[in-house]
Chain A
Amino acid sequence: MANPPPTFPLYPGPWSFFASGYAVSLFAMALLLNRIQNIVVPSRRSLQYLTRSSPDLRSHWTLLRLISPSIFPMDMSSTYSRTVLRLPTMYYILKSLVLWSIIFLQASDRFPLSLWKPLQFLDNWAASKEMDEVCWSTFLAICGALCAGALTRALEGVGTTNASPFNLFGYAFMLHFYSSPSTHTVKPEGLPSRPDVNVIFTIFVPLIQLSMIHFIGAKQSWSNQRLIPTTICSALTLIHFHSVLWFSPSSYPLLNYVSCIFDSLLLLVILGSITRLFIGHASSLMPKWDEDFSIVLLRLGIASLEATSVAGLGNEVSGISLTDHTETVKHQVRYGEVEMNRAGLSYTKKGFANDIRHVKVGTSSQGDPMVDVTWLMEFRRFGYSFARFTMGCWRILGRILRGQTDGESGTSNLNQQDIYERFLSGEVVSDDDEDFLPSGDSAPQYDDDDDDDGTGSDAPDDEADTFALYNDLSAVTTSTTTATLLLAHMTDTSSSPLTRRRYRNLVSGQHGIVDREQRAWEVFVNDKRGKMRRQDASVNESRRNCVICTIEERQIICWPCRCLALCDDCRQNLASRLSASKHTVHAAANLDDLNSVEGFSRIYIP
């Protein structure tokens, strides 16, 4: 195949690339690799299946395995056969590697090989090579190496997860571009011209990477360990890029500029978010041995962007600080409405009475973009309050007309009416109606004793106290029926109301029976309650714990759906796994809430 003409005066453009031998052989390579992958036997799937599941075929297969070495005496996966298969391509790769390293040394002028006698012939040999010849032989060596790698993989039937180990297209374009003398800056007398030293380095580094991968591929268990070579080479490239960019007057080759900037940005993102990234769930994100460095970089970069993003499950609404913005323009609404964002919270009512039914979560302080809706809602509120105001006015007016106003507001209205009715029914009405006690003549008031309720002390002790107190008092006071009844009520301090039976027991002095009955009843109740509690314990625990890990307590409440289902760790994990638009409680838990989560708060269950 013909090389591009060396006398071409202009910079080689993309069109000349497509007309060159590089593009033609790229096309051929694509075809070849595809064919190797698809038609080279053994087909991995059928064999694996045969060995696994059908018993009658399995025996055939073991037989086949027994006789196969005598038919085809070569184990494809042994290091020896792999090395033999790779030997020719290894030679060519090594040759171009040596060539490029000498060219690099020559161009950098740091280590003059000519000083060292035995290597002088190498120096001369490399210096006399034309650039386009060097590039073309390198390209062919790389193609050969890739084919050999694909062939060994296919022969073993190993699933090729990352079949393309190398950006061949980009590399071919680079080689083509710099093989033309018009791009060269170094033009020595009598020798072929060379590109800039930085250019040579950018071509050299991927070649190192490829040869490393090719060489360690000779051993099957190492063939997928791509992380180390790619990391070394990418690090070299990045260091070189930054040293040229910041410390060197010469410019970095344009073809690699963008990818280097991209990689640097990703690194910056990862380093910037390293504290957030490495909490808890980093193991799933850690680089694996068979991954390319650039893929790892991209994956980690995206994950750290997601982990530090302030949307969805990553958007923690900030703490609620009760400051003095009491002068709210909003009118009183039926339910509280809070608006939460990262700056804080604005609210309309305070306290536990403020049942928040509607939570607006925003990342910015701007309100609803639908202006009409808010206007309508405000108008509705205004109408509602106006109606209430008119009603109130009308009521006051009516009261004035009836002559019953004493300047009190509407809240004590009911109370007043109550007192008025009692007054009509002939009761004595005192001013301090809270501690109202009727005198001895009036009818017994069962209600009054309820104030003594809820002391929470043990019932049997109370019972005994009550009995003793009653005995003491009844011994002193003159006995009329109403008086004893009243006395019984006044001395009764147990939590349950004084029933007829208990009153009879109290009067007749049968304290022990009550006691025993009461005890039996309580034992029964406690027994029953304990059983219920034990039964509920497991249910309670599963209701209290995070739905994902089922170990930690639920700590995260999601806005605006108010689902309390996750613990913080699982939230963090989810936040770094999914993009914010997919953050729904539905995605995490088995709930039918399809609303997307716009923010969350940590809650604390003391």
Chain B
Amino acid sequence: MASASARALRRIQKEIADLNANPIDGISYEFVEDNLFNWKCSIKGASDSPYKGGTFYFKLALPEDFPFKPPAVTFATKIYHPGINDEGSICVPILRDQWKPSITLATVLSVIHEKVNNPCTDDPFEPEIAAQLKNDKAAFLTTAKEWTKKYA
């Protein structure tokens, strides 16, 4: 039945209205081919993070049974980050096992924003980068800035 995805669509429209009313600093989004289930977002590196000056694109794909299944986030821009792996997957608990249908997309986006701009060693996706961040922070910062300049 189409009603499930129609409901998902209405909720998404509502979320977009909310996002337009209270935009998140540093995050912009557009829709791929006017498909509200397929978002192309970009995030600006905060000035106090090693990703300063970079714009990182990521894809936010909402599943058909949206509020019951979490959206899938994939980074398209290469980023040197302990929580984001080579394939662009980001390790955020609320997008995995801690997902709840009542979590809004605004929350998701701000959590991603927070996660990207504050690289920390909690739940790492790239253990090597996390280890480097822990042991040799200067080297990490250098590489991260380099990658930002190169790719973002």
- Is B3's CB under 8 angstroms from A283's CB? yes
Question: How far in angstroms is the closest Cβ of chain A from B100?
Answer: 6
- Is A587's CB under 8 angstroms from B100's CB? yes
Can you pick out 5 interface pairs between chain A and chain B where the beta carbons lie within 8 Å of each other?
A278-B1, A283-B2, A283-B64, A549-B67, A577-B68
Chain B 82-113 near chain A by CB (<8 Å), digits 1 or 0: 00001110000000000011110000000000
- Is A590's CB under 8 angstroms from B102's CB? yes
Question: How far in angstroms is the closest Cβ of chain B from A405?
Answer: 62
Residues A284 and B4 in contact in the complex (CB < 8 Å), given A53-B78, A550-B11, A551-B11: yes
- Is B7's CB under 8 angstroms from A283's CB? no
- Is A588's CB under 8 angstroms from B76's CB? no
| Separation of A565 and B21 alpha carbons in the complex (Å) | 24
Q: Chain B: which residue is nearest A588 at the CB level?
A: B101
Binding site for B on A (CB under 8 A): 45, 49, 52-55, 278, 280-284, 538, 547-551, 565, 569-570, 573-574, 577, 586-590
Which of A52, A278, A549, A565 is in CB contact (< 8 Å) with B7? Answer: A549
- Is A551's CB under 8 angstroms from B14's CB? yes
- Is A284's CB under 8 angstroms from B101's CB? no
B5 close to chain A: CB less than 8 A: yes
Question: How far in angstroms is the closest Cβ of chain A from B140?
Answer: 20
Which 5 A-B residue pairs are closest in the complex by CB-CB distance? A547-B102, A548-B101, A283-B4, A589-B102, A284-B65
B residues 65-80 touching A (CB-CB < 8 Å) = 65, 67-68, 76-78
Residues of A within 8 A of B102 (CB): 547-548, 565, 588-590
Residues A55 and B151 in contact in the complex (CB < 8 Å), given A280-B3, A283-B5, A549-B67: yes
Residues of A within 8 A of B15 (CB): 550
- Is A550's CB under 8 angstroms from B14's CB? yes
Residues of A within 8 A of B103 (CB): 590
Residues of B within 8 A of A283 (CB): 1-5, 64-65
Q: Chain A: which residue is nearest B3 at the CB level?
A: A280
Which of B1, B68, B100 is in CB contact (< 8 Å) with A282? Answer: B1
B residues 1-53 touching A (CB-CB < 8 Å) = 1-5, 7, 10-11, 14-15, 21
Extra contacts, 9 of them, besides A55-B151, A550-B11, A588-B100 (Cβ < 8 A), are: A53-B88, A54-B78, A282-B1, A283-B1, A283-B64, A569-B7, A574-B68, A589-B100, A590-B103
Which residue among B1, B64, B151 has the maximum number of chain A CB atoms within 10 Å of its CB? B1
Residues of A within 8 A of B1 (CB): 278, 280, 282-283
- Is A284's CB under 8 angstroms from B64's CB? yes
| Separation of A547 and B100 alpha carbons in the complex (Å) | 10
Question: How far in angstroms is the closest Cβ of chain B from A81?
Answer: 29
Residues of A within 8 A of B64 (CB): 283-284
| Separation of A586 and B103 alpha carbons in the complex (Å) | 12
- Is A549's CB under 8 angstroms from B11's CB? yes
Question: How far in angstroms is the closest Cβ of chain A from B52?
Answer: 21
| Separation of A586 and B98 alpha carbons in the complex (Å) | 10
Residues of B within 8 A of A550 (CB): 11, 14-15
- Is A590's CB under 8 angstroms from B100's CB? yes
Residues of B within 8 A of A548 (CB): 67-68, 101-102
| Separation of A433 and B72 alpha carbons in the complex (Å) | 74
Q: Chain B: which residue is nearest A541 at the CB level?
A: B14
| Separation of A589 and B5 alpha carbons in the complex (Å) | 20
| Separation of A530 and B112 alpha carbons in the complex (Å) | 37
| Separation of A284 and B2 alpha carbons in the complex (Å) | 10
Residues of A within 8 A of B100 (CB): 586-590
Residues of B within 8 A of A577 (CB): 68
| Separation of A54 and B3 alpha carbons in the complex (Å) | 40
| Separation of A551 and B5 alpha carbons in the complex (Å) | 13
Which of B2, B3, B86 is in CB contact (< 8 Å) with A49? Answer: B86
Residues of A within 8 A of B101 (CB): 547-548, 570, 574, 588-589
Question: How far in angstroms is the closest Cβ of chain B from A286?
Answer: 8
Q: Chain B: which residue is nearest A577 at the CB level?
A: B68
Residues of A within 8 A of B86 (CB): 49
| Separation of A301 and B78 alpha carbons in the complex (Å) | 44
| Separation of A586 and B101 alpha carbons in the complex (Å) | 10
Q: Chain B: which residue is nearest A573 at the CB level?
A: B68
Residues of B within 8 A of A53 (CB): 76-78, 87-88
Which residue among B7, B10, B11 has the maximum number of chain A CB atoms within 10 Å of its CB? B7
Q: Chain A: which residue is nearest B12 at the CB level?
A: A550
- Is A280's CB under 8 angstroms from B78's CB? no
| Separation of A551 and B13 alpha carbons in the complex (Å) | 11
| Separation of A53 and B150 alpha carbons in the complex (Å) | 13
Question: How far in angstroms is the closest Cβ of chain B from A44?
Answer: 12
| Separation of A548 and B7 alpha carbons in the complex (Å) | 10
Residues of A within 8 A of B88 (CB): 52-53
